Amino acid sequence: MKALVYHGKESIALEEMELPKLQEGEALIKVHYAGICGSDLNIWHGALSRIVPPVILGHEFCGEIVEVKGQAKGDLKVGDPVAVEPLINCGICMAALPPMSRPPSLESISWPPEPAWSWRP
C-alpha cells in the first residue's frame, strides 16, 4: 500500500508500506475518502511538537471493510461501508458517554498507530 508520510515541517512523501497485521477483533478498512483536518495542517506546519516524525497523517475517513480477524465488535463484516470516529475514550465515565463523548483523556487513531492515509490495500 502507499502512505503519505510526514517527515518534518512542510515535508511529506508518498511511500510504499506493508499492510498492517490485524490483531484479534480488528478490521482492515479500504479507505475510499480521507479528509484533511486542521490537526493535519498544524502538523504539516510543524506546530504540534508532540508529533515526532516520521508519522502517517489522516484520521477522518470512510471506506469499506476488506478483512476481519476473529470477531469484530458489533456485526461488522467484509464489504460493510464504515465511517470512523477517530477519538478513542474509555466508554465508561460520564464524560465519555453521549451526549458528551469527550472525556479529558482521549486517544486518537492517528499519529500513530494506523492512520487513514495508510490504509489503502
32-49 residue pLDDT tens: 988 888 888 888 899 988
What CATH number does the domain containing 14 carry?
A: 3.90.180.10
% of the chain exceeding 70 in pLDDT = 78
Residue 107 binned pLDDT confidence (cut-offs 50, 70, 90): low
- Backbone φ/ψ region at 11: left (φ over 0), alpha (ψ -120 to 50), beta: beta
The total of structural domains in the chain comes to 1
Residue 118 binned pLDDT confidence (cut-offs 50, 70, 90): very low
The three cell numbers of residue 6 are 510526514
> Model-level pTM?
0.72
Mean pLDDT of the residues in the chain: 79
C-alpha–C-alpha distance, residues 15 and 109, integer Å: 20
For residue 46, give its domain range: 2-118
Task: Please report which residue ranges of 7-53 form alpha helices under DSSP H.
Answer: 38-44
Tell me the mean pLDDT in the region 70-75.
79
